[in-house]
């Protein structure tokens, strides 16, 4: 098998890239280790920046999003009985965020890719890459029980944090920047009407977040130990913590409902640079992850593949590789700004084990500052809705 761009992974990064290249007439093949059903039901993100929504519109895959998404026009932060209320359009020149589950985005992208006749193989597990420094890099994978090879001009490593593409780059070429926060997030989906606004809370017992997926479905998170087990979290315990941390002791504001999905995710930042080695280009979680507190991982994956698709289109149409050579530097500028914002929000909102009384007072002072400072609260609002794409 041969193609121009071999794409490893059918998450948001790989799927968006495949549609952008397909539209430009560039041949690509997407290889995904999991089944279609598995990737379509993997519950993760929910907050889409305007740029992500605009890209879906540009690709003609936004019809269901327009019908089903929820508009996020405000963000609340609760602490010590006080409320920071951010009017997002008012503070960001009219921008809002859209709430639409990542698995819904993935379903829409897969449907479009297949309808448009693009190659997308599920249960195709990539085991190794070679020839990355040659003109003919090759992907080795297993599909239908058979070992196969895909020869490419370029490989796009969109295979997430635990994939095989980043480790295919010699370790001495990469610089790894890593920060683990000593906490995790227990996330649940519940059949219960959500709070009216996206609500983050910093409480003495730890962080909590009330988000949503639809008028009938809430997406709720509580800070937990990163090594905790969901088995330790009965539904009753989750509701108790949510009511306390969100400041709803009378249990009247936050409606309870059947919890039908539970999972724990670590809170961590990781950046591996550069994002390119020879003919391999990494995008999305394969190259960087950010703590969920900023709601940016998916949006950053989209920002990467916008840059990569432009560079690849120019390369395949004209032979010029100047943009491709700048790919890593261009993306990392945004990556570090998003790491900065996600780190700030994480530090602002969590209770960390071993946090000293001094550190706690500084944290509360910071929250009080945001409450009373237009500049500080605007900083959060403009990052939350999404920074402009600098390369435009
Ligand atoms: P993905 O989605 O992990 O996709 C990678 C794909 O590659 C496949 N794969 C392989 N395929 C073939 N061969 C192999 N050897 C392979 N190894 C792996 C995998 O099966 C998978 O299908 O990476 P991508 O495309 O870079 O997308 C990144 C996003 O998924 C991620 O950043 C976000 O989910 C992060 N995130 C959030 N991002 C936001 O923008 N807004 C949010 O509100 C938000 N909330 C979240 C989040 C992530 C969370 N968790 C669970 C980590 C909330 C949570 C709780
Ligand atoms: C979500 O709706 O899943 C969500 C919202 C805000 C975040 C992270 C996740 O910061």
Concatenated DSSP letters for 244-266? Answer: HHTT-TTS-SS---EEEEEEEEE
172 inside domain? yes
Cis peptide before 274 (omega within 30 of 0): yes
Q: Separation of 365 CA from ligand 2 center, angstroms? A: 25
Pocket test for ligand 2, best of 69, 198, 298 (most atoms within 8 A of CB): 198
48 alpha carbon – ligand 1 mean position (Å):
14
CA-proximal residue: ligand 1, atom 45 (nearest): 45
Distance in angstroms between the alpha carbons of the first and the last residue of the chain: 35
Q: What's residue 8's pLDDT? A: 99
With a CB cutoff of 8 Å and minimum separation 6, the contacts of 240 are none
- Tell me which residues have their CB closer than 6 angstroms to ligand 1: 8-14, 31-34, 39, 44-47, 102, 125-126, 158-160, 163-164, 185, 187, 265, 284-286, 292, 295-299, 301
> Cβ of 379: how many Cβ atoms within 10 Å?
15
Q: What's the confidence (pLDDT) of residue 391?
A: 75
Contact 15 CB / ligand 2 (< 6 Å) = no
Q: Per the domain annotation, does 76 fall within a domain?
A: no
- Whether residue 273 lies inside any domain: the answer is yes
Spans of the chain below 50 pLDDT: none
Residue 43 pLDDT: 87
Using the structure block, give the residue that is written with the tokens 């969100």: 246
How much distance in Å is there from the Cα of 11 to the middle of ligand 1?
6
- Give per-residue pLDDT as tens, 68-79: 999 999 999 999
CA 254 to ligand 1 center in whole angstroms = 29
pTM: 0.96
Query: Is residue 81 a part of any domain in this protein?
Result: no
Question: What is the per-residue pLDDT for 45?
Answer: 85
Rounded alpha-carbon distances, angstroms, from residue 13 to 18, 56, 178, 285, 355: 9, 13, 21, 8, 36
CATH number assigned to the domain comprising residue 32: 3.50.50.60
Residue 237, domain member (yes or no): no
Would residue 387 count as lying in a domain? no
Q: How far is the CA of 305 from the centre of ligand 1 (A)?
A: 14
- Return the number of other C-beta atoms located less than 10 Å from residue 33's C-beta: 23
Is 65:53 a contact under the CB 8 Å cutoff?
A: yes
**In the prediction, which pLDDT does 390 show?**
83
CA of 103 to the centre of ligand 1 (A): 10
Query: What was the pLDDT predicted at 180?
Result: 95
Contact, 132 vs 278, CB < 8 A? yes
pLDDT of residue 228: 97
In sequence order, which residues have a C-beta less than 8 Å from that of residue 172 and are 6 or more positions away? none
Q: How far apart are CA 224 and CA 7, in angstroms?
A: 35
What is the DSSP-derived secondary structure letter of residue 2? B
Pocket of ligand 2 contains residue 210 by CB under 6 Å: no
Domain range for 18 is 5-69+98-177+268-352
Q: Is 295 in the pocket of ligand 2 (CB under 6 A)?
A: yes
* Ligand 2 neighbour 219 (Cβ under 6 A): yes
Q: What is the pLDDT of residue 290?
A: 97
Counting ligand 2 atoms within 8 A of each CB, the residue from 70, 197, 295 with the most, and so the one to mutate, is 295
CB distance 46 to ligand 2 below 6 Å: yes
Total domains in the chain come to 1
Residue 92, domain member (yes or no) = no
Q: Could you tell me the distance, in angstroms and rounded to a whole number, from the CA of residue 356 to the centre of ligand 2?
A: 28
Residue 82 lies in a domain: no
The pLDDT assigned to 370 comes to 98
Q: Which ligand is nearest to the CA of 189?
A: 2
């Amino acid at each position: 098998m041969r193609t121009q761009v071999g794409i490893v992974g059918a998450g948001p990064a790989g799927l968006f890239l495949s549609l952008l290249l397909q539209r430009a007439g560039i041949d690509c093949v997407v290889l995904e280790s999991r089944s279609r059903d598995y990737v379509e039901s993997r519950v993760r993100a929910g907050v889409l920046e305007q740029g992500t929504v605009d890209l879906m519109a540009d690709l003609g895959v936004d019809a269901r999003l327009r019908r089903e998404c929820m508009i996020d026009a405000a963000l609340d932060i609760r602490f010590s009985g006080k409320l920071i209320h951010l009017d997002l359009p008012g503070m960001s020149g009219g921008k809002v965020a859209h709430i639409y589950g990542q698995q819904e985005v993935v379903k829409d992208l897969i449907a479009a890719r297949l309808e448009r006749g693009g190659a997308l193989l599920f249960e195709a597990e990539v085991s190794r890459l070679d020839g990355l420094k040659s003109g003919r890099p090759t992907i080795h994978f297993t599909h239908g029980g058979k070992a196969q090879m895909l020869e490419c001009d370029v490989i796009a490593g969109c295979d997430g944090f635990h994939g095989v593409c980043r480790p295919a780059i010699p370790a001495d070429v990469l610089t790894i920047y890593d920060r683990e926060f000593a906490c995790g997030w227990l996330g649940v989906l519940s059949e219960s009407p959500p709070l009216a606004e996206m609500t983050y809370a910093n409480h003495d017992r730890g962080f909590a977040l009330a988000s949503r997926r639809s008028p009938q479905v809430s997406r709720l998170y509580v800070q937990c130990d990163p090594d905790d087990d969901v088995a330790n979290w009965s539904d009753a315990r989750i509701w108790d913590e949510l009511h306390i941390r969100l400041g709803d002791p009378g249990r009247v504001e936050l409606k309870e409902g059947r919890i039908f999905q539970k999972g724990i995710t670590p809170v961590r930042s990781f950046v591996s640079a550069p994002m390119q080695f020879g003919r391999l280009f990494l995008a999305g979680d394969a190259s960087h992850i950010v703590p969920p507190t900023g709601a940016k991982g998916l949006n950053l994956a989209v920002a990467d593949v916008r840059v990569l698709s432009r560079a690849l289109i120019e390369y395949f149409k004209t032979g010029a590789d100047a943009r491709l050579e700048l790919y890593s530097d261009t993306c990392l500028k945004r990556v570090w700004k998003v790491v900065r914002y996600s780190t700030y929000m994480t530090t602002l909102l969590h209770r960390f084990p071993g946090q000293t009384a001094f550190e706690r007072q500084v944290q509360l002072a910071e929250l009080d500052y945001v409450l009373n400072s237009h500049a500080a609260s605007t900083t959060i609002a403009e990052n939350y809705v999404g920074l402009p794409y600098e390369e435009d």
